[in-house]
Amino acid sequence: MTESTTKPTTPGQRERGGTYARFLPLVQTATLIEWTGTGLFLAVSTIYFVKVVHLGTASVGTGLTIGGALAVAASVPIARLAGHWGPRTTLTAIMLLRALATVGYLWVDGWWSFLAVVTVIAITEQSSPPLVQAYVGARAPQDLRAKVMAVQRTVVNLGISLGGLIAGVALGTGDADAFRPLLVGGAVAYVVVAAVFAFSRGQEGAPAPETTGVGELLKDRVLLGFTAYNALVSLWMPVLNVAFPLWLVTATDVPERYVGILYAVNTVLCIALQYPLNRCYSTARRAWLSYAVAAAVLGCGALAFAAAPQFGQRGALLVLGGAVVLLTFAELLQVGASWTLSFDLAPPHARSAYLVLFNTSRTVANRVAGPVLMTGVVLALGTAGWVVLAGVLLLGALVPLVVLRRTGAPPAAPADAPAEPATGARTHD
């Protein structure tokens, strides 16, 4: 998509913008509630499995990986349901199922019941963001989509932070019974979100079902290639959540208490910079360039991690802090670029289904291949592992440049083009 010049707004645009302005706060409220519940869950889940259910850490890791792999396998049937029901109805069902699964943790009494619950959680967690993207993004005027995405991601980060803060206060009591209200609270949050989407039909009327075959999804080489590339650039997630804390503790002299401080740096920067950076991926061309920058700065972050053990405690802390800042910029640019490009590249008649399948790249990076890659390759090889990862990412930064050189950017839609309806004919942190 080429850069477009600003044109005067038409009465139709102003009317659509006003309708969307009334719709957006409702969805943002639902997003805040959903991700506050998710923040509660993220903060307590692993501790709950180990201290209350009495599972070993290896068993927990194995179960989470299997659950993530099964979620990837379930992406095609979920995509088909999204295409048939439309994003709003599918979101409602997903949220209710997510609530049931969250409460289900209270009855987990062994590894198999744990695996069943984490699998359902992984499936619903993977499906929710692309469905919200399809539902909300299709209602946004084209020139506002990047800003809408930035606001959504800011609300997501606020919700996670708020949920984690509440969970931290509750867990600070040291009472094992504190887990129960946290899990129930997370489930209630998902029920509330389901109710919001169930009654937020708006003025667009009933959704028209999309027509998408499984073969169409799996034969689209552009979709599959883009999904694979997004998985590569999404490795900032296992780097930040798995490799970084383990590397700090095992390879440097930096006290482990700084893990939490550096995580806070990441969170604050995400909240502060998500909206200002929305211009970086507001068009398809800018989004491809953002992918290139994201891969490059992630590669530089890997080199910084490799260098950290060569310094003393203070120097290593500064280098690790710089690496976390680089990871944060990679996160912000990758999430924003993926929202813009996945929405633009999905065909109008199958947008929900394509977005659900595309989102498997995050699950592969964060739950399936990423943790194994970080622990079994990068950390196992030490400094050499980080250098190899950096080399792969820096080479990956060339991919968007090749794409732009070979294909160019598609022409921008007219500034006065009508916003797409939520589902049907024109139905992506």
Asked whether residue 261 is domain-assigned, the answer is yes
> What does each of the 429 residues of the chain score in pLDDT, given as a tens digit?
334 334 444 444 444 445 555 666 777 788 888 888 877 766 667 667 777 778 876 777 788 888 888 988 888 788 778 777 878 888 899 999 999 998 988 888 888 998 999 899 888 888 887 887 777 766 667 666 667 767 777 788 788 778 777 776 666 655 667 778 888 888 888 898 888 888 876 534 444 445 555 566 677 788 889 999 999 999 999 898 888 988 998 899 988 778 878 888 888 888 888 888 888 888 889 999 999 999 999 999 999 999 999 999 999 999 999 999 999 999 999 988 988 888 888 777 777 778 888 888 888 888 888 888 888 889 889 999 999 999 999 999 999 999 998 876 543 333 333 333 222 222 233
Among 305, 314, 311, 326, smallest CA distance to 381 is for 305
Q: Please give the pLDDT value at position 99.
A: 92
Q: Are 37 and 186 in contact (CB under 8 A)?
A: yes
Q: Residue 272: CB partners within 8 Å, gap ≥ 6?
A: none
Q: Please give the pLDDT value at position 215.
A: 63
Q: How many CB atoms lie within 10 A of CB 33?
A: 20
Domain that holds residue 17: 11-410+422-426
What does the buried/exposed string (b/e) look like for 103-142 if buried means 16 or more CB atoms within 10 Å of the residue's CB? Answer: bbbeebeebeebbebbbbbbbbbbbbbbbbbbbbbbbbbb
As a whole number of Å, the end-to-end CA separation of the chain is 21
Q: Are 115 and 66 in contact (CB under 8 A)?
A: yes
Output helix, strand, coil percentages for the chain, rounded to the nearest 5: 80, 0, 20
Asked whether residue 6 is domain-assigned, the answer is no
DSSP three-state, residue 175? coil
Written as six digits, the tokens of 186 are: 């997370």
Asked whether residue 4 is domain-assigned, the answer is no
Q: Are 423 and 333 in contact (CB under 8 A)?
A: no
pLDDT tens for 155-171 read 887 887 787 777 766 66
CATH of the domain at 301: 1.20.1250.20
Asked whether residue 351 is domain-assigned, the answer is yes
How many distinct structural domains can be found in the chain?
1
Asked whether residue 68 is domain-assigned, the answer is yes
Among 310, 43, 19, 87, smallest CA distance to 179 is for 43
Q: Are 122 and 68 in contact (CB under 8 A)?
A: yes
Q: Please give the pLDDT value at position 163.
A: 78
Written as six digits, the tokens of 39 are: 């923040």
DSSP state of 234: T
Asked whether residue 394 is domain-assigned, the answer is yes
Give the predicted TM-score (pTM) of the model. Answer: 0.73
Asked whether residue 5 is domain-assigned, the answer is no
Q: Are 141 and 419 in contact (CB under 8 A)?
A: yes
Q: Please give the pLDDT value at position 24.
A: 66
Asked whether residue 21 is domain-assigned, the answer is yes
